[in-house]
Copies of this chain bind each other. A is one copy, B any other.
Amino acid sequence: MRRSALAYGLLASVALTSPVMANDDVKKASADPNNWAMQSGSYNNWRYSELDQVNKSNVKDLRVAWQFSTGVLRGHEGSPIVIGDRMWLHTPFPNNVFQLDISDPVGPKIVWKYTPKQDPSVIPVMCCDTVNRGGVNIVGDTLIFGQADTTLVALDANTGKEKWKTVNGDPKKGETHTGFTLVVGDKVIMGTSGAEFGVRCHVTAYNIADGTRAWRAYSMGPDEDILVDPEKTLSLGKPVGKDSSLKTWTGDQWKIGGGSTWGYASYDPDANLFYYGTGNPSTWNPAQRAGPDGKQIDQKWSMTIFARNPDTGVAAWAYQMTPFDEWDYDGINENVLVDLKVGGEDRKVLVHFDRNGFAYTIDRLNGEVLVAQPYDEDLNWATHVDLDKDSATYGRPIVVASKSTFLNGPDVNSKYVCPAALGFKDQQPVSYSPLTGLFYVPVNNVCMDYEPFQVSYTPGQPYVGATLSMFPPEGKTNTGHFTIWDAAEGKIVHQHDEPFSVWSGVLTTAGGLAFHGTLDGYFKARDQEGGAELFKHRLPSGSIGNAFTYSQGGKQYVGIFSGVGGWAGIGLAAGLDKPTDGLGAVGNYAGLKSYTDLGGTLTVYALP
């Protein structure tokens, strides 16, 4: 069965007349498993596909169907999207976009290529390689994506011609874009990066029709800036109250407070809420952020999961995982929306594997934390998350004093903190399989030494203030796990060693498989039951992209970007050698240079 993009009205050349309502369009396109219609597969961020042609018994026969070199080096995150016989593919900086006609099974044709001209001075203000994980979104005949320099671009999806462009931030101040763009209703919502440069970050909504700004919600600042309703926005079951953010910062520090929003977003159409996380407070030297009393202070709403209404931006609830961060445990990791029986009750939850090493199962309607357990065994910076509602520390991690880089103080090297700054999981998204009801988690098994130091703020200059070394946990040589997780119980079901951190996003399918890439350049298929490797094949370069699948001409394809880079691959991507360069990533992943070099390629596998 040959299906064309026309079937989705994508190629209709009629002008946009009425306000676009993305939901139905996106839901329809992503409900058809032949498509991979959005970065996360669907609004709920499951990264699960109903396609089952490739299954446990035949996956060993997968072979490279075709490949496409993107013409760009450095880290390739995210994935293409596919609707009908068209694929849209994005690259890291300079953020080229291609439309491919994939109707020919032996190889694609390039229909158009969009090559933005961006000022390369944005490159040095991108903290963690020139990546773009947010990729492209499609709604109606409009293709929307964000560039590194924060330009939000809408193209005619069929012709590649510009419809409108708007600028979300200023790279001269360290504001960049690598993360999500989410199309919901008549809006596109966009995150921002910059917490390593003292940017006060936000999410901002633009109208799809014309690119005008609809609302902006900062991560910190006055209530009207952060779009909370003091009476109605909840945190841990209670209204956040007036000045919930301002109260938790010393003086004006919130103005350079960080809280980047560079991960993925998910959306619950029934609740009409979208979910995303905020990153670290700036700087990484916690001493500089102490409260007026010289003690820890929360720095809200950094390190927070927000549930917001996409029409107004107003928050329904907020939950801060790591108050007063002292380790760069950005809270930006994706939130996967599932309905689970937790403690015997059917709950609408989100599941979130935080950088801080705890996996949270949270009621997604009100923000109540149901489960919070470490998803790797070496976590040592906190004893647990206090879930006793009557406790003074309700909802908070209980920090181990010896691992507190604040208590140890500046210019003291806090040794052996696990996880490392890049978390037990970083940008690489997990997958949820409804077949098993379990989560498939690409894990960094990494610890660190962390030495904060005094740093002063200059716009557009790094505002980090810490020296890091990273390394595997004691007694281990590998820095990765592939972990299967029960989010209702908060338990590891299976755990497999990986030589390097799995910096690539997982895909699960109705074929009973879980797919992912590896930094050393393998594409792997695993059994959803147990996680055993059923297939592995060497890609041209290390992969930090997300596995995806689609069907075309009756054939299932499973694909992934290779192109090593990101924070883990920054040594290769930016040509750095010193072990503490790249905030410690260079030393930790030095072994990668025995396996792979740069180069962006899309590889698409199929059965013979």
Contacts and interface: CB of A to CB of B under 8 A. Distances in A.
B597 A70 contact: yes
Most buried by B among A539, A562, A597, A601: A597
Interface in A58-74: 63-73
Nearest to A536: B106
B113 A69 contact: no
Interface stretch (A144-152, A305-313, A316-324, A588-596): A588-596
A71 B538 contact: no
A521 interface: yes
B595 A110 contact: yes
Contact of A538 (B67, B70, B536, B540): B67
A536 B104 CA distance: 13
Contacts of A599: 69-72, 599-601
Interface in A470-507: none
Contacts of A541: 69, 71
Interface in A38-67: 63-67
Nearest to A541: B69
Interface string A565-606: 000000010000000000000000000011111111101000
A552 to B, nearest CB: 14
A522 interface: yes
A540 B522 CA distance: 16
Given A73-B73, A599-B600, A601-B599, A109 B594 contact: yes
A107 interface: yes
Contacts of A113: 593, 597
A338 to B, nearest CB: 35
B595 A540 contact: no
B73 A595 contact: no
Nearest to A98: B597
A167 B113 CA distance: 41
A597 B540 CA distance: 15
Contact of A594 (B110, B536, B537): B110
Given A107-B522, A521-B107, A599-B599, A67 B593 contact: no
A96 to B, nearest CB: 8
A426 B597 CA distance: 30
Interface string A518-542: 0001100000000000001111110
Contact of A540 (B67, B106, B110, B537): B67
8 nearest interchain CB pairs?
A69-B599, A71-B597, A107-B538, A69-B540, A69-B541, A66-B538, A71-B598, A67-B540
16 contacts: A65-B538, A67-B540, A69-B540, A69-B562, A69-B597, A69-B601, A70-B599, A71-B541, A71-B598, A98-B597, A106-B522, A106-B536, A106-B537, A107-B595, A110-B596, A111-B594
Given A71-B597, A71-B599, A72-B599, 10 more contacts: A65-B538, A66-B537, A67-B601, A68-B597, A69-B540, A107-B522, A110-B593, A113-B593, A113-B597, A540-B540
